Each structure stands twice: as structure tokens, then as C-alpha cells.
């Protein structure tokens, strides 16, 4: 698919161009002419590859998601000691990937293109959980779909928080945080505070 150097080069240039423009203005205000002008390509070239600018944006997201999948699987690629992928080791790679593609994530998360991206991102993470984690789901009692969704959205939430804060922390810190959050079984604590305490408070109902 598109092995020609020219095609790859052109598409990358148009992608970068669109992303750069999205830093300044809303997606709907960006014209095709804008895109090709900043990329310094001919307009006809755009139409050779895409029909609408939406196609270009979709392709950008698609490419980044492909990169995400590769990052996720990378630690197990050239290891003869066929290590079993664990949630923790894979998740570090996700944060690394976000860090490397910070420009994309910052722009898209802050843009009006967020919903479309979020859908694809969640879908990708879910797929990875099912296909790559042999020990998934960890507990026979839990609904796998629910757990996958839970984890995927949890990670998305961390990333959005991280990105909106300007990616101040290194990716290793984010991995630590997630690890700590998982170990602390935060839901239990939350539930304890929110629901268990009240019941403990209304002690001695009038018999």
C-alpha cells in the first residue's frame, strides 16, 4: 500500500501541514488551498489522494493508531524468550508512544476533532487488550468487555489529563502512576469513602 517514495513523502507533508494548521484554527475553517499552500504542493496532488480534508484527518489518526499498536507490541517482537505480555509492561509503551507523538495528541485532544479520534483510540486499546493479553480478562467473574472498556477509558483519561497539562511529566512517571492506581485498587477506596462511611454513620437505628 503506497510504497512509492513520492506518495509517502507527499502524504506525510500534507498530514503535517494539516496538523500545523489545526494548531492555529478550527478544522472546519481550514481550506484545501490552505493545506497545500503550507505544504507547498499542488492542489491537484491533494485530490489525487483524498476527496475531502476529512479523509486526510482520518488517515492521520489511522496512522497514529497503527503506531500505537506497534509500540504496544514492540517489547515482544524480537525476544526469543517469548515473554507473556503483561498489562503493566505494555502500558508503559503506550505512554512512550503518546510522548513521541505529543504534537498530534496535543492538537487533536484540544481540537474539535476529539470525538472522532477518541472513538478510534478506545477501539484500538480494546482490541489490543483482547488480542495481546493472554491473561485477559484477569478474573473469570468480570465481564471482559466491561473490563476492556474500563481500562481503555481509564488510560485515555490519564492521557487527556497529561496532555492538557502540557505533558509535564515523563512517560515513566505516568506508568508509575497507573501502576500505583491499579495496585491501590482505587475503586475500593472510593467506595469505602463514599458509601461505606455513611452506613457506618447512621448507626443504631431505632429498633
Q: In the complex, what is the shortest distance from the CB of residue 44 to its own copies, in angstroms, rounded to a whole number? A: 12
Question: What residues numbered 26-65 form the site for its own copies, per CB under 8 A?
Answer: 40-42
Q: Cβ of residue 111: shortest distance to DNA, in angstroms? A: 18
CA–CA separation, 14 and 38 (whole Å): 8
- Interface with DNA, residue 9, by CB under 7 A: yes
User: Interhelix angle for 114-132 vs 53-73, to 10°?
Assistant: 30
The residue from 44, 140, 165, 166 that contacts DNA (CB under 7 A) is 44
Residue 37 or 138 with smaller CB distance to DNA: 37
Residues that bind DNA (CB under 7 A): 3-7, 9-10, 31-34, 40-45, 47-49, 51-52
Residues that bind its own copies (CB under 8 A): 5, 9, 40-42
Amino acid at each position: 500500500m503506497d510504497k512509492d517514495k513520492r506518495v509517502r513523502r507527499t502524504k506525510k507533508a500534507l498530514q503535517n501541514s494539516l496538523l500545523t494548521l489545526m494548531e492555529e484554527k478550527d478544522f472546519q475553517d481550514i481550506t484545501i488551498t490552505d493545506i497545500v499552500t503550507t505544504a507547498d504542493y499542488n492542489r491537484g496532488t491533494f485530490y489525487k489522494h483524498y476527496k475531502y480534508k476529512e479523509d486526510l484527518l482520518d488517515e492521520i489518526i489511522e496512522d497514529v493508531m497503527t503506531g500505537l499498536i506497534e509500540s504496544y507490541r514492540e517489547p515482544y517482537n524480537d525476544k526469543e524468550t517469548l515473554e507473556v505480555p503483561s498489562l503493566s509492561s505494555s502500558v508503559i509503551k503506550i505512554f512512550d508512544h503518546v510522548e513521541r507523538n505529543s504534537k498530534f495528541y496535543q492538537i487533536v485532544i484540544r481540537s474539535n476533532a476529539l470525538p472522532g479520534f477518541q472513538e478510534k483510540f478506545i477501539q484500538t486499546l480494546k482490541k489490543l487488550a483482547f488480542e495481546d493479553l493472554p491473561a485477559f480478562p484477569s478474573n473469570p467473574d468480570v465481564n471482559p468487555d466491561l473490563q476492556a472498556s474500563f481500562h481503555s477509558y481509564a488510560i485515555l483519561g490519564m492521557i487527556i489529563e497529561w496532555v492538557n497539562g502540557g505533558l509535564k511529566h515523563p512517560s515513566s512517571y505516568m506508568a508509575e502512576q497507573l501502576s500505583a492506581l491499579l495496585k491501590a485498587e482505587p475503586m475500593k477506596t472510593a467506595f469505602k469513602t463514599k458509601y461505606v462511611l455513611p452506613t457506618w454513620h447512621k448507626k443504631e437505628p431505632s429498633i
